[in-house]
């Protein structure tokens, strides 16, 4: 199951409904927004996990247990503490507010949802993604949920990153990261 499926099925769709209600979006629009935002976030997580410090930080964040609350209780998504946590996550995985703005602008052009709405949604989506990863990490019982056969963390991220569905995330990740650092 990839991250989009994890988030859209959480609480039988309660997470998507909560997020949509908060921004005045239908379930279809909210799912579209998630679809457009998650690949950049997943790419940032995967890129961070390539360094020893980044991997250690991800392992610590996932094992802390605090991110799962976003999956278990979506009503907390609009709280200030969630926004702050999400902005911290964005800082780690995307590096700057400018990159976050670029992600929202690109997602806006893909979905037709206003970039301002997507910028406000981005910290919540980042918090939800970490909640999904933390939940999978706990369920798998292995470090970072990395399992043989593409399961766990890598499997969840790969499904989002293989945008052209060619079976390889390398070309897609290279493209995402190239766009991340463009003006």
Q: What is the pLDDT of residue 139?
A: 61
The residue among 142 and 75 whose pLDDT is bigger is: 75
124 pLDDT above the threshold of 90: yes
Given a contact cutoff of 8 angstroms between Cβ atoms, the answer to whether 46 and 161 are in contact is yes
The pLDDT score that the predictor gives to residue 119 is: 95
| Residue range 9-58, pLDDT digits in tens | 887 888 899 999 999 999 999 999 999 999 999 888 888 777 778 777 77
Burial of 165 (0-12, 13-18, 19+ CB in 10 A): exposed
The model carries a pTM of 0.75
- Packing angle of the helix pair 115-140, 52-63 (nearest 10 deg): 80
Tell me if 106 sits within 8 A of 35, measured CB to CB. no
């Amino acid at each position: 199951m990839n991250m989009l499926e994890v988030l859209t099925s959480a609480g039988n769709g309660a997470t998507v409904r909560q997020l949509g209600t908060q921004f005045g979006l239908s379930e279809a629009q909210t799912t579209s927004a998630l679809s457009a935002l998650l690949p950049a976030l997943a790419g940032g997580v995967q890129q961070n996990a390539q360094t020893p410090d980044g991997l250690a930080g991800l392992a610590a964040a996932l094992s802390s247990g605090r991110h799962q609350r976003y999956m278990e209780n979506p009503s907390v998504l609009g709280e200030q503490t969630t926004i702050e946590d999400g902005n911290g996550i964005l800082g780690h995985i995307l590096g700057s507010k400018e990159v976050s703005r670029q992600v929202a602008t690109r997602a806006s052009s893909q979905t037709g949802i206003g970039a301002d709405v997507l910028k406000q949604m981005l910290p919540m989506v980042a918090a939800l993604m970490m909640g999904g990863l933390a939940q999978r990490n706990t369920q798998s019982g292995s470090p970072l949920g990395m399992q043989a056969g593409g399961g766990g963390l890598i499997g969840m991220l790969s499904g989002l990153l293989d945008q052209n569905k060619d079976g390889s995330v390398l070309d897609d990740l290279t493209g995402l990261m190239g766009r991340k650092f463009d003006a």
